Amino acid sequence: MIGIYKEKIGGVPSLIVVDKAYEKQALPTVFYFHGITSAKEHNLTQGYLLAEKGFRVVLPDSMYHGEREVGDISEVTYYLFQIVLQNVKELNDMKEDLETRGLILDGRVGVAGTSMGGITTASALSQYPWIKTAAILMGSPKLSTFARELVDVYAKTGKLPLTDEEINQLYDTLTLYDLSLQAERLSDRPVLFWHGDSDPVVPFAHSHSFYEYAKKIYSNPNHLKFIREKGRGHKVSRYATLETVKWFVRYL
C-alpha cells in the first residue's frame, strides 16, 4: 500500500510518497519539483506512480508556494528565478537530511520537475554531480536566456519589483546555474526531456535546441532522450508522466 506522509525534509514542507512496507528502509529517491503557482499536492500522481515502482518520492513546496505561501500567489511569478535558485539550494539540504537518516539507497538520487520544477532540475544538474538521473518536463535549460526574455515582458507591465542593479546581479548569478552554458557538467548522465511543441509559456525551442547540442557531446546516446509532443501546450500529459516513470525505472 502506498502511503503519503507530510513532514519537513531539510526544513522544507514536503510530502513523502512511499510504499508503507518500505517506509523506514533505504530506497532510491526521487525529488519532484512543482511549477510556478502550483504546490506539492499537485504532483501526487507522479509521486504515486513512482512509489509503486519502489522509489521514495519527495514532493517539496517551493518558496512562496503551498504551506510557504505569502501574500498574493499571482505575484510570485516575478520571483521565478529567485525561487529556482532557492530550490537548488534546498535540494541539497533535503538530500543531506535523508542521507543522515539512512534513507537513500546507495546514493541513488533522481530529480524531476514540471515547468519551474523542470527549470530547477536543469539548474541542479549544473551544480550537483550526485544526481544520478533526471527528467525535465517543459522546463528551460537556458536559464539566462529565459530570464532576459521574461524580464523584458515583465518590465513592460511596470510591475517588476526589482531595480536595474538587482536585475543585473540576478543575471550574473544565473550564469553560474545555467546548464546551457556548461553542458559538459551533465557528464553523460541519463536525462529525459519532454516538451509540448505548442507551449506558450516556456519556449519549446529552449529545451529542444539544448538537446540537439547536448547529444553531440554524449558518448552514450541512450542516456539522452527528447520527447516532443505535437500540439501540446503548457500541461503535462499522462503519456509524459508514464514516460518519466519508465525513465527512472530504467536509470535509477
Domains, the chain, in order of start with CATH, read 2-251 (3.40.50.1820)
Looking at the chain, the whole-number percentage of residues with pLDDT higher than 70 is: 98
Using only C-alpha atoms, the chain has a radius of gyration, in whole angstroms, of: 17
Q: How far apart are CA 81 and CA 145, in angstroms?
A: 12
pTM above 0.75, yes or no: yes
Q: Of all residues in the chain, what percent carry a pLDDT higher than 90? A: 88
Q: Which of 155, 15, 179, 150 lies closest to 81, judged by CA?
A: 150
Separation between Cα atoms, residue 169 and residue 206, nearest integer Å: 23
* 167 burial type by CB count under 10 A (0-12 exposed, 13-18 middle, 19+ buried): middle
In this structure, what are the phi and psi dihedrals at residue 224, rounded to the nearest 5 degrees?
Answer: -130, 125
- Helices 116-125, 80-100: axis angle to 10 degrees equals 60
Report the range of poorest mean pLDDT among 13-22, 91-100, 155-164.
155-164
Instruction: List the grid coordinates of 80.
Output: 521565478
* Calpha distance 197→215 (Å, rounded): 19
Each residue of 134-178: pLDDT tens digit?
A: 999 999 999 999 999 988 887 777 667 778 888 889 899 999 999
* Pairing of β 131-137 and β 191-196: parallel
How high is the pLDDT of residue 73?
A: 63
Residue 251 three-state SS: helix
**Per-residue pLDDT at 71:** 72
Name 217's bridge partners: none
Confidence of residue 93 (pLDDT cuts 50, 70, 90): very high
192 CA to centre of own chain: 12
- Write out pLDDT tens, residues 175-227: 999 999 999 999 999 999 999 999 999 999 999 999 999 999 999 999 999 99
